Amino acid sequence: MSRLCVVVGGSRGIGQAVASLLAEKSQRVVVVSRNLDAARAAAASLPGADHIGLNCDVSSEQDVQRTFEQILRECGNVDYLINAAGISRDALLARTRPEDMMSILHTNLLGTMLTCRASLRSMLQNRGGAIVNIGSVVGLKGNVGQTVYSASKAGLQGFTLSLAKEVAPRNIRVNLVAPGLIRTDMTAALDEDELKRAVPLGRFGEPRDVAHAVHFLLETPYVTGQVLLVDGGLRLAS
Ligand SMILES: NC(=O)c1ccc[n+]([C@@H]2O[C@H](COP(=O)([O-])OP(=O)(O)OC[C@H]3O[C@@H](n4cnc5c(N)ncnc54)[C@H](OP(=O)(O)O)[C@@H]3O)[C@@H](O)[C@H]2O)c1
């Protein structure tokens, strides 16, 4: 049976890899990002028909509301939600501007809360569903220059575990994938040769590595409230 999957942040990087894998598994995908052209192009590139791309800024409650109403109207109830939208603005705390703190928290943390809230109606009507949020290994171990980003990702962990408890009686599962260093636009400016030495598996991950973990959590019916690290062992190295 084909499921309706909403991949927030699906136009690039990890979200795009998740969208591709789900489409390969014959699921119907709604790609969401701020850039409409990019969301549409990503949807059009997926195998299979009926995928669509929509624009939404997850940091805006009104935008999230409008988008999920449109999804319900045009595609029906959401079965799977993947929250892969995220931003980083790396800087020492003393040099981090308050407006950047707000952007990071509003996108990474509040944005995920809003999309989860907006998709619950569908999942309750469907009598089940699954959500995977994308956190980060730095939410578990911290990192210099990433205080606010780490806080947003640690916040996602508490949110994910609490929501998992809240909605388990309604057959809705909620899990968190915490990637390490993954090769995407977000990490393009980093010195990969230097940083990969700290990774026990000796390399940056590919977006597809994360997509497999997301797919596992979406499709495994007796798993909820888990944090799955996809970090090549980076957490062990600290
Ligand atoms: N790459 C890594 O090493 C790594 C490691 C740990 C965790 N993560 C997390 O994994 C997730 C995906 O990261 P990535 O590396 O794939 O990043 P990426 O390549 O920069 O892609 C980010 C995606 O999020 C969308 N997005 C950003 N802000 C948005 C907003 N306000 N509303 C809606 N969509 C928004 C972007 O599209 P638009 O710009 O068009 O909106 C894009 O589709 C993020 O949560 C990130 O924190 C990444």
Q: Are strands 80-83 and 52-55 parallel, antiparallel or unpaired?
A: unpaired
Q: What is the mean pLDDT of each run of 10 residues along the chain (238 residues)?
A: 96 98 98 98 96 98 98 97 98 98 98 98 96 98 98 98 98 98 98 98 98 98 98 93
pLDDT at 238: 66
Exposure string for 166-179, b = 16+ CB within 10 A, e = fewer: ebeeeebbbbbbbb
Answer for the pair 14, 42: CB distance below 8 angstroms, yes or no: no
Q: How far is the CA of 169 from the centre of ligand 1 (A)?
A: 31
**Residue 149 annotated in active site:** yes
Answer for the pair 153, 107: CB distance below 8 angstroms, yes or no: no
- Residue of 20, 186, 229, 235 to mutate, ligand 1, most atoms within 8 A of C-beta: 186
Q: Which tokens in the block code for residue 66?
A: 């409008």
Residue 136 domain boundaries: 4-237
- Residue of 30, 59, 134, 209 to mutate, ligand 1, most atoms within 8 A of C-beta: 134
CATH of the domain at 141: 3.40.50.720
Other Cβ atoms within 10 Å of 74 Cβ, number: 10
- The number of domains in the chain is 1
Other Cβ atoms within 10 Å of 16 Cβ, number: 24
pLDDT at 133: 99
Global confidence as pTM: 0.98
Dihedrals phi, psi of 87, to nearest 5 degrees:
-135, 155
Decide: 63 in ligand 1 pocket, CB within 6 A: no
CA distance 8 to 30: 8
